[in-house]
Structure 1
Amino acid sequence: METGSRNKTCEPIPWHRKNRRRGRRPHASGQPAQGNDLAAQIAETARKAVLDLFGPRLIPENPFLLEIKVTVHPGPVWRAEAELPVEQQIRAAVRETVARAEAYQYGRLYCYRCESSHCSHSVPPKPSCVFAGYAPTGLPRWEELPQVLLELRHPDVERLYSPRGRHFLTVFLDPEYLKHRQLDVFGRQSKTYDILGQIVFGFLDLVPPGTTPTKTERVAITLQAVESRRLDGSPRLDVNVLARFADGSLVLDSLSDGPAVNRRIFGAILEARQRIAALAPKSSNPRKSLPHDTCLRAQEILQRAARTLEHLGRQAARRTSHAEDRPRERRPTSKALQDALAASEEKVLSDVYRQTIVVLGPRNRVHVFSHQGRHVTSLVLDAESVQNRLKRQRWQPMEPEEVRRFRSRAAAHGSEREGDLSAGQEATRA
């Protein structure tokens, strides 16, 4: 009996029965469906990433694109490599998908007509434009800064066009001014993107990233204190800076590298952002709005920042850029070529932000050249400023061959300049 029973249980089991017992479905080729398994693994990893990063309340409702980049190396044993691990790529895609659904996006305004911060209406169309309020349908209105100041009857609008020195004006705008045209049905009372106060100021002459210091753009800046909502409904408090160069790049970073007045403006903006960020709720509560006192304090901080910017504007009107920078920099232009030819290779650096070449000379001298070897400017920087640029990898080492070619071009330009000066002196004597 035992033998018969044992033989019966050891009979071959059909493939489809084995698969059913193990929870698998048969495949037409007799092999497991590897492609389906891989897709299921990706979907499961994405699901876990959403739960891990945002919790069950923020699961996206609509399908979203998820791209994974790997490099496959054929050979006796095929292998795949990814610059970023596949799981991290999936988590990054999930994070971006959920983040794009939030109304607040740094550097972009929320458009109530399109119900998005990613439409063409959410950014200023030109560097000289500021946010002038919402239209009745919730469409953002962007106006030239002088036009907004004229609407407000600002007494000093003509200063924006003064040929002498550097002038910029600042004005604080009450939230009611920005919403008085907006209809309730198009977001006037909405907390999706609620502007608590706004500053507009300009014009500033700033250098866009990747251009030489001589190429500037006139820029106006909009600074907003904003209460908005996360996807789970909890409130958040931010300072949004709305300003872009003609190529679409953000303006704020360029303020930190410019003349002294620009750096003070940058500091005033950072201080306002830090103080308003400190008012933000420490924990999420989807059922509560920000307390009224918190909103008032955020508005007061912005008004204080406006007074600081007004003061800086008056200072800029009293002194030109050269008068402001000369005591600090004492530009040593006469030593530029000499230092460029004598500097060791590790002191000839590439400025990846300005797309120029920087030479570190003796006595804190710093010389800036174009890649063609033409001298652009010279200045004196303290050791801390130099180390700061090196630490941020804005100034990076160059290959020895690149340094050699640069020196040749700089020497050639120096010879041409000396020849021009000699010819001019001989002509003067004649």
Structure 2
Amino acid sequence: MPKPKRNNPAKGKTRSRAAESIHRRLQGLVKSLLDRDGSEAISGLPDVVELNLHVPVQLKTDDPHLSQKFAQNLVQQIEALRTEGEIEVHGHRSGHVHCYWCQQPDCEHSVPIDGHTVLSGWSATGLPLWKNLTNHLLAEAPELLDHIHGDTISPLALLVDGTDLLAEVLPQYLEGTTFAHPLAGLIVGGFPLQLPNHEMDHLALTALILETRTAKGTPKYRWNFIATPPKPFHLATLLGQEDTSPLARWISVLRTMLVGVQEEIEHRAREGKRMPMKECRQKVFKMLSEAQSILGTFNRRQDRKTQHAQERSNDPNRPTSAAIADVLASKRKDVFFDQRESTVIVRGPSGRVHVFTQNGIHVTSARYSPDSILLRIQRKRWVSMEDSDYLRFHEEIHQRLDQNRDEADGRNLGNA
């Protein structure tokens, strides 16, 4: 019986099973890196992509630097493909906000500088505007400042409307953009984060709801979480399903809630009863409000304080009432600069600690234990102020006091 013919390569061609194995492993590596952190980049790429690989081979000695250089080049190309695929699928780059000035989804302006910075909007020319969370709350929701200042840190979430975020952008920077529309979002902070040195920090992030449409016109909503955690933390890991931290659990709830909203929208569309855009957006905003309530916070209303804040304001023993007196009586050794929050700390008697902006605006007050104060000083989170900065801060305080007196005198004359 004749032996079956082997499926040999055509004459003149050589075959290396080892080389084929290397190619298959490279394909697997590329797919794995493209799928990393739940990315859907592959859906936005063609079936076949070309990698421009340079494979230097040292024949006489083993040089590990060549392997490192090859790996670096390969990973950079895959990351570029991942960015391209994600933008094609979602109209945005995960972990970045759109820059309408650069017309790029992931330029140098698209990420916050640190873990305490959040998105406050876009400039007239479309540049993302980033602001320290303390300063943002001071302007938008001062009643929430106690969540991130004091011995106890607690989570907060502030609802923001995409219309407000884009309010300053000139029309010519928005026309013709292919970016996903930032419909709304949550400014989030106060989630505890233990640093490698065992000091407790908190993470601030911007959670945007981005709106696109399918080919049939059905709205599609996705989360985009933007933050720059301190090293060695990685945002995707902090938000991942495997993490059981309060932040990860809350983010998991957010994702589940949005999936529910999206499924309802798509179910209506499949039945031929497409949900009007206005109703879709109302459902998204309702979901965001529910997400806020999960953290025990309230919608952003500048003219309304929480009951907790009102009770604290009415408490005669609260250290806030002594803030100005403690500042005026303070000596240089009692005034510090908080390097993490970029605020001024004034230490008063009986454990009173007052937080001010650098231009003299009172943020909040609290009582700290002696150990808590000492720990912050030892770890150089609170550092002594230079003489010039100390004098400048006191000048700011006195100018504000004089301004307040002048305004009070003016009101008294007007009422006379």
**TM-score category (smaller protein):** 0.3 to 0.5
Which one has a bigger Cα radius of gyration?
1
TM-score (norm 1): 0.45
